Amino acid sequence: MFLGIDIGTSGVKTAVINDTGDVIDQAAAPLTVSRPHPLWSEQDPADWWAATQKAVLDLSPDRRAKIRGIGLSGQMHGATLLGASGDVLRPAILWNDGRSFAECAALEAAEPRLRQIAGNIAMPGFTAPKLLWVKQHEPEVFAKVTRVLLPKDYVRLLMTGEAASDMSDSAGTLWLDVGKRAWSPELLAATGLTESQMPRLFEGCEITGMLKPDVARAWGMEPVPVVAGGGDNAAGAVGVGVIRPGEAFLSLGTSGVLFLAGEKFLPNPDQAVHAFCHALPDRWHQMTVMLSAASCVDWAARLTGVHDAGELIALAETRGRLAGPEVFLPYLSGERTPHNNPHARGILFGLDHDSDAAAIGQAVLEGVAFAFADGLDALAAGGGEVREITVIGGGARSAWWGRVLAGALGRPLVYRRDGAVGPAYGAAKLALIGVTGTPAEDACAPPPVLFTIDPQAEDAERLAARRIAFREAYTRISPLYTMEPQ
């Protein structure tokens, strides 16, 4: 059996698969995010390790004893800063942190070829601008930095003692030459860093080290190999078999991602499209990212006093109507594609006396769907052709939200077995590939289709009209976002 560990934003998830790729056990442990100032988003790396321990130990002891390899996935871009003795110097700055917008401009000015080398526009979510912010605002911390690790790779360090990373996660730092799949001395120099402060690079299915004996004993398993793994989106793609050119998935997690696999490095930074390495050798991908997706439904549930997101979606489904007067802009944490605006914020308007929890819930589902449609347009502008879309993540459980998404995107949505398991599933498959030598095409065959949701013409027509109001609202309100928070 093979174990996948996903260091997410809201929690750590584990998944165990057998040698034919079937998910046979899962567990999870929650995490919280600290937001001490406007635009800030941080976590204590010690919490990742504590949650990892719990999520592993909550798996069946019998299955843990049969693990033969481990793969890691995790939230991308997080800056984990270590000192000379391996001590954590400050809380990790996360992917949805927007404080480093000024440093993005400074970084592009310092290295005019940044977009050409990294394949991406400098955004506050990426790792490099975060380090420039630390250099500017916390120079005493920056001076002590001997290693910068991404979240999953800090957990790897505690598991194996090795400072290592994979291509897909490292591509989100703005320090990788994405076409060459190697650290870029020029991009590192623009941030005041060197390659000696970076982890060693591996392909996602390559073994990076062995589980330390003391950790293995505590987890009730042998000191098994640990493979490089992947960033959460690339690992999620491996899990559901999105590895061939033209295959796509939509992820409904804390953030929202539209992911398109390819065999070439095809950057399109002007549309704020991300061009990264895939978690398998000689493969790349493009993706669009919205910073708040399923988390918007959690927010709306709290706002309306509904028990949880599932209940709110059920209320919207019972109501059974698309395109009411309410319109929601889902920019609760700022936005990446296509606006690249860390100052953007969520808006709920068009309310009247009949705007109950069900109506607000429906508006939130539609607002997230419209933001995904903006991402699909950005992919198309860069030459990406998306025919059908596999749905993964927690939101994949809702057929009603699927109907809304299909109507807004105008594409069939495919729901597959184990699609809701997420990146931990792909991390386990990468371990299977790395340990057994199974070809990726075999190990990453798409799971069986459970059902497909085709766009309905009437839904598409109604939602297209509402999307005009959605986009017009952002255009008119966005000038208010330019003011810096006090």
Alpha carbon distance 289, 257 (integer Å): 5
| Residue 178, domain member (yes or no) | yes
The residues pairing with 29 across neighbouring beta strands, listed in sequence order, are: 12
Nearest to 364 by CA among 420, 320, 313, 415: 313
Rounded to 5 degrees, φ, ψ at 373 are -65, -40
| Residue 375, domain member (yes or no) | no
| Residue 293, domain member (yes or no) | no
pLDDT bracket for residue 336 (50, 70, 90):
confident
pLDDT bracket for residue 170 (50, 70, 90):
very high
pLDDT tens-place string over residues 57-95: 999 999 999 999 999 999 999 999 999 999 999 999 999
pLDDT over 90 percentage in the chain: 84
What pLDDT does residue 482 have?
Answer: 61
C-alpha to C-alpha distances, 27 to 159, 170, 189, 222, 480, nearest whole angstrom: 18, 26, 41, 20, 43
Rounded to 5 degrees, φ, ψ at 250 are -120, 125
pLDDT over 70 percentage in the chain: 98
C-alpha to C-alpha distances, 35 to 43, 277, 333, 343, nearest whole angstrom: 9, 30, 11, 15
For 120-124, 256-260, 417-421, 461-465, which range has the lowest pLDDT when averaged over its residues?
417-421
| Residue 400, domain member (yes or no) | no
Q: What is the CATH number of the domain that holds 112?
A: 3.30.420.40
Alpha carbon distance 169, 430 (integer Å): 14
- Please answer whether residues 424 and 330 qualify as being in contact, where contact means their C-beta atoms are separated by less than 8 angstroms: no
Average pLDDT over residues 146-162: 98
Asked whether residue 248 carries a pLDDT value surpassing 80, the answer given is: yes
| Residue 234, domain member (yes or no) | yes
What pLDDT does residue 486 have?
Answer: 40
What pLDDT does residue 9 have?
Answer: 92
pLDDT bracket for residue 396 (50, 70, 90):
low
Active-site residues: which are they?
A: 232
What pLDDT does residue 485 have?
Answer: 44
Alpha carbon distance 80, 155 (integer Å): 11
Contacts of 130 (CB under 8 A, 6+ apart): 77, 79, 93, 97, 99, 100, 103, 124
Please, what is the average pLDDT of the chain? Answer: 94
pLDDT tens-place string over residues 4-13: 999 999 999 9
Domains identified in the chain, total number: 1
Alpha carbon distance 29, 7 (integer Å): 10
Tokens matching residue 395: 């939101």
Residue 138 burial (CB count, 10 A): 14
| Residue 59, domain member (yes or no) | yes
What pLDDT does residue 323 have?
Answer: 78
For 39-48, 145-154, 418-427, which range has the lowest pLDDT when averaged over its residues?
418-427
| Residue 192, domain member (yes or no) | yes
Average pLDDT over residues 26-34: 97
Give the domain range for residue 134: 2-240
Question: pLDDT higher for 339 or 40?
Answer: 40
Asked whether residue 311 carries a pLDDT value surpassing 90, the answer given is: yes
Asked whether residue 449 carries a pLDDT value surpassing 60, the answer given is: yes
Nearest to 450 by CA among 402, 379, 385, 383: 402
- pTM comes to 0.88
C-alpha to C-alpha distances, 323 to 51, 318, 356, nearest whole angstrom: 40, 15, 14
Alpha carbon distance 344, 346 (integer Å): 7
Whose structure tokens read 């990294």? 118
pLDDT bracket for residue 410 (50, 70, 90):
very high
What pLDDT does residue 31 have?
Answer: 97
Residue 410 burial (CB count, 10 A): 15
Alpha carbon distance 34, 38 (integer Å): 11
| Residue 109, domain member (yes or no) | yes
Asked whether residue 483 carries a pLDDT value surpassing 70, the answer given is: no
Asked whether residue 293 carries a pLDDT value surpassing 80, the answer given is: yes
Tokens matching residue 407: 């109507």
Question: pLDDT higher for 396 or 402?
Answer: 402
Nearest to 348 by CA among 326, 366, 331: 326
Nearest to 122 by CA among 102, 142, 92: 102
- Please answer whether residues 247 and 261 qualify as being in contact, where contact means their C-beta atoms are separated by less than 8 angstroms: yes
Average pLDDT over residues 279-296: 93
What pLDDT does residue 393 have?
Answer: 76
